[in-house]
Amino acid sequence: MSTVTPEELNLLIEQTYKVEEDFNELKASYAHLQDTVEKVVEFLPNAIWIVNDDNTIFLQNSQARELWELLKLLEYKSEDYELKFNDSSYLIKSSSYKDKIMLSATDITEQKRKENLATMGQMAAHLSHEIRNPIGAISLMSSTLKKRVMPENLPIVEEIQNSVSRIERIIKATLMFSKGVDATKKEFLWSSLKESIDMSISYYAYSKEITFVSPEEDFSLNADKDLLDMLFSNFIINAIDAIELDDEEEGIIEITHKSDSNYHVFEIYDSGIAIQNRENLFEAFKSTKEKGNGLGLVLSRQIAEAHNGSVRLLESDRKTFEIKIAK
């Protein structure tokens, strides 16, 4: 039976300590690596799950924890696919390594919305071009007919003109939405713009007694007059519709103006019914009105932004919109 010398025993003990030290360093390195992986996964903007082969979760980030119900619907597939969940759209990707499967879900709801809007805008623009010529012919013939018709039939012709005017406004708004808003600025007076606005809404029919209040003082604007005509006309027509739906037999539409060194600031108030859905106010093709096409407020905001301004609904007891136009 061989014996171990003290020197050999000391060497064995030293080697044992060295192995233990190397193991602890490796363990610490692995823990650091795992911590780094967790931080990287957490930093990613999409939901990430790393799943074991028994379907237990090995690692996930906070986005994935919020969508834990979505994980039940995911499948491992060789190709990317889209999935609808809770009114949102997700792009699902998956990959595998050894006994782990990684699944990711990227929210593409906004991207899909923009794609749908672009498609709807193209379709609307095409239809508008097709409708424009016959509507122009109807408008021309109704003007000729108005000069020749018997007095008792005049209201019928005027109703035709009102309807045609409404369609022409929708066509103009649709084409502008599809092409984008580009402002050509010139100097003009508020009184001149007010005359144009009055002319634009003169064909719009309503049944109630409505009081219109607008700034009495005259002031100069450096802007695109035609675009501001459309902007204010949109708000006034929306206000008329809101008053028509109200229980009261009369209403008021009030425009006020003030200015500072940078902006003309307008506020538009009406006494009509309250706004039903504030979230969809500036969403294209999502009208909060029965007769709307969902473009009026969208275009109004784009027109204001083309003048380095803004449009917003004020948080107050009165239903008031604020319109800013840069000087």
- 3-state percent helix, strand, coil for the chain, nearest multiple of 5: 50, 25, 30
Residue 213, domain CATH? 3.30.565.10
* Close Cβ partners of 50 (under 8 Å, ≥ 6 residues apart): 41, 57, 58, 59, 60, 100, 101, 102
Buried b (16+ CB within 10 A) or exposed e, 215-224: eeeeeebebb
User: What CA–CA distance (Å, rounded) separates 187 from 185?
Assistant: 7
Instruction: Report which secondary-structure segment, H or E, holds 148.
Output: helix 109-148
Whether the CB-CB separation of 283 and 301 falls below 8 Å is answered with: no
Tens digit of each residue's pLDDT (9 = 90 or more) over 246-284: 888 899 999 999 999 999 999 999 999 988 777 767 665
Last residue of a domain, one of 127, 146, 180: 180
- In this structure, are 75 and 213 located in the same domain? no
Tell me which residue of 230, 57, 56, 298 sits closest to 48, measured CA to CA: 57
- In this structure, are 253 and 311 located in the same domain? yes
Give the range of the structural domain holding residue 203, as residue numbers without chain letter: 182-327
- In this structure, are 190 and 324 located in the same domain? yes
- In this structure, are 86 and 134 located in the same domain? no
- In this structure, are 296 and 267 located in the same domain? yes
Tens digit of each residue's pLDDT (9 = 90 or more) over 199-247: 888 878 788 999 999 999 999 999 999 899 989 998 998 899 999 998 8
- In this structure, are 189 and 288 located in the same domain? yes
- In this structure, are 304 and 205 located in the same domain? yes
Reported confidence tier of residue 323, pLDDT bands at 50, 70, 90: very high
pTM above 0.75, yes or no: no
Residue 54, domain CATH? 3.40.1840
Amino acid identity, position 228: L
Does residue 42 surpass a pLDDT of 90?
no
Last residue of a domain, one of 91, 107, 123: 107
Tokens describing residue 71: 């994980």
- What pLDDT is stored for residue 18 in this prediction? 61
- In this structure, are 36 and 50 located in the same domain? no
User: Helix 154-179 vs helix 225-244: angle between axes, to the nearest 10 degrees?
Assistant: 120
- What pLDDT is stored for residue 291 in this prediction? 52
Whether the CB-CB separation of 221 and 193 falls below 8 Å is answered with: yes
User: What CA–CA distance (Å, rounded) separates 166 from 176?
Assistant: 16
- In this structure, are 193 and 273 located in the same domain? yes
Range of weakest confidence among 110-114, 195-199, 263-267: 110-114
Does residue 175 surpass a pLDDT of 80?
no
- In this structure, are 118 and 96 located in the same domain? no
- What pLDDT is stored for residue 281 in this prediction? 74
- In this structure, are 201 and 301 located in the same domain? yes
The three-class DSSP label of residue 198 is helix
Number of domains in the chain: 4
Range of weakest confidence among 24-38, 208-222, 293-307: 24-38
- Judged by phi (left if over 0) then psi (alpha if -120 to 50, else beta), residue 294 lies in left
User: What CA–CA distance (Å, rounded) separates 324 from 327?
Assistant: 9
Whether the CB-CB separation of 133 and 115 falls below 8 Å is answered with: no
- In this structure, are 254 and 303 located in the same domain? yes
Per-residue pLDDT averaged across 114-140, rounded? 76
Last residue of a domain, one of 107, 129, 160: 107
